[in-house]
Amino acid sequence: NAGVTQTPKFRVLKTGQSMTLLCAQDMNHEYMYWYRQDPGMGLRLIHYSVGEGTTAKGEVPDGYNVSRLKKQNFLLGLESAAPSQTSVYFCASSSPRSHSNQPQHFGDGTRLSIL
């Protein structure tokens, strides 16, 4: 059972570089989310999607873009990485009935360092 898979698991970037984090889920979930987790801050929502072709901003969207071209994939892009984006990034998905009333299923995270 793969569940939610995030690629890559680790990455080191230089300031100004760009990259894309990939999230894939095999549970046929409608809703997908990107969070960042920083020490002492808990999880903060970056962007989310309620279905293929739709995206919406979360609490901390600045500096990130997302795309949901296929139902099973949710991509998070950093166009010009900054040291403040050093964090652990988590993707999650949930079932279609109501994204606030269903448990979220998480990947194991991508650890990103920006030098």
Partner 1 sequence: SQQGEEDPQALSIQEGENATMNCSYKTSINNLQWYRQNSGRGLVHLILIRSNEREKHSGRLRVTLDTSKKSSSLLITASRAADTASYFCATAGAGTALIFGKGTTLSVSS
DSSP code of residue 40: T
Q: Two tokens at 21? A: 């984090």
Say if CB 24 and CB 4 are below 8 A apart: yes
56 forms bridges with which residues in the sheet? 48
Q: How far apart are CA 86 and CA 98, in angstroms?
A: 31
Please report how close the Cβ of residue 80 comes to partner 1 at its closest, in angstroms. Answer: 26
| Stretch of 15-23, 40-48, 62-70, 78-86 lying at the interface with partner 1 (CB under 8 A) | 40-48
- Selected from 34, 48, 64, 74, the binder of partner 1 by CB under 8 A is 48
Q: Which one of 16-24, 67-75, 78-86, 97-105 is the stretch in contact with partner 1 (CB under 8 A)? A: 97-105
Dihedral in degrees, nearest 10, Cα atoms 112, 21, 81, 39: -40
Q: 67 or 95, CB closer to partner 1?
A: 95
Give the tokens for residue 113.
């360092």
**Candidate residues 1, 14, 42, 69; the one interacting with partner 1 per rule CB under 8 A:** 42
The binding site for partner 1 (CB under 8 A) comprises 4, 33, 35, 40-45, 48, 58-59, 90, 92, 98-101, 103-109
